[in-house]
């Protein structure tokens, strides 16, 4: 399955809530879901029937997959891995998604969206433990040091992002120094600090059918 390249605001409207795919725009009055709070398409404003149990599970799965920007096959592999780990499958699953490098770059405030973070990683703007790493799906570990490459710190966009995100609330499992544009993974992600309203049990039920 190819990665979606259309207008990302349509994805938020399709799911009926903000997925924060557009960075600063999502926090402004230009946000598409604020202006048009209905599904895209010719019949978006029409009356919809009640979703089946399967439909509810599918929508939750699609919402989370789109929010993290993960393709279907990879998304399912994360779930299968989570199933084989000790603990609660749904929480294991979300932790795997949170530990993706592109998500950590976003969480640290070095990008205003996961999509922008993914681009920064792919273009070599991010270092992990002093080495350039261009794999957005890289899984960070405790004590990993994530920083913006020295030759990228002077980028106009990077300065704008740092100024915009300087007051951003940071999850307790991460630590950041905005003056140096570097952060540290302190521990494993904490379920309670995932800001999206996710019902991971619905995804567990979807893949367990």
Q: How far is Cα of residue 154 from the mean position of the Cα atoms in its chain?
A: 25
Contacts of 2 (CB under 8 A, 6+ apart): none
Q: How far apart are the C-alpha atoms of 116 and 22, rounded to whole Å?
A: 9
- Residue 50: per-residue pLDDT: 82
Q: Is the pLDDT of residue 1 over 50?
A: no
Q: Tell me the per-residue pLDDT of 105-131, one tens digit each, with 9 for 90 and over.
A: 999 999 999 999 999 999 999 999 999
Over residues 130-153, mean pLDDT: 97
Q: Tell me the per-residue pLDDT of 26-49, one tens digit each, with 9 for 90 and over.
A: 455 555 555 565 555 554 555 556
In the chain the domains, ranked by start, together with CATH numbers, are 101-187 (3.10.290.10)
Q: What angle do CA 65, 79, 50 make, to 5 degrees?
A: 55
Nearest Cα neighbor of 78 from 87, 88, 89 is 89
Answer with the residue of higher pLDDT: 6 or 185: 185
Contacts of 195 (CB under 8 A, 6+ apart): none
Mean pLDDT, the chain, rounded, equals: 85
Question: Any bridge partners for residue 176, and if so which?
Answer: 183
* 56 pLDDT tier (thresholds 50, 70, 90): very high
Q: Report the predicted TM-score, pTM, of the whole model to 2 decimal places.
A: 0.81
């Amino acid at each position: 399955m190819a990665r979606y390249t259309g207008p990302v605001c349509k994805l938020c409207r399709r799911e009926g809530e903000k997925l924060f795919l557009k960075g600063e725009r999502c926090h402004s009055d230009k946000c598409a879901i604020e202006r048009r709070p209905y599904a895209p398409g010719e019949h978006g404003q029409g009356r919809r029937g009640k979703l089946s149990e399967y439909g509810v599970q599918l929508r939750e799965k699609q919402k989370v997959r789109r929010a993290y920007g993960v393709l279907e096959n990879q998304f399912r592999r994360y779930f299968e891995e989570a199933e084989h780990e000790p603990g609660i499958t749904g929480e294991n699953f979300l932790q795997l998604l949170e530990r993706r490098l592109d998500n950590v770059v976003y969480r640290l405030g070095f990008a205003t969206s996961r999509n922008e973070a993914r681009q920064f990683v792919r273009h070599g703007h991010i270092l992990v433990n002093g080495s350039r790493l261009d794999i957005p799906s890289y899984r960070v570990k405790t004590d990993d040091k994530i920083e913006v490459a020295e030759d990228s710190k002077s980028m106009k966009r990077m300065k704008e992002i740092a100024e915009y995100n300087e007051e951003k609330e940071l999850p307790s499992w991460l630590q950041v120094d905005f003056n140096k544009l570097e952060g540290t993974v302190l521990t494993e992600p904490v379920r309670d600090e995932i800001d999206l309203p996710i019902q991971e049990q619905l995804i567990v039920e979807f893949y367990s059918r």
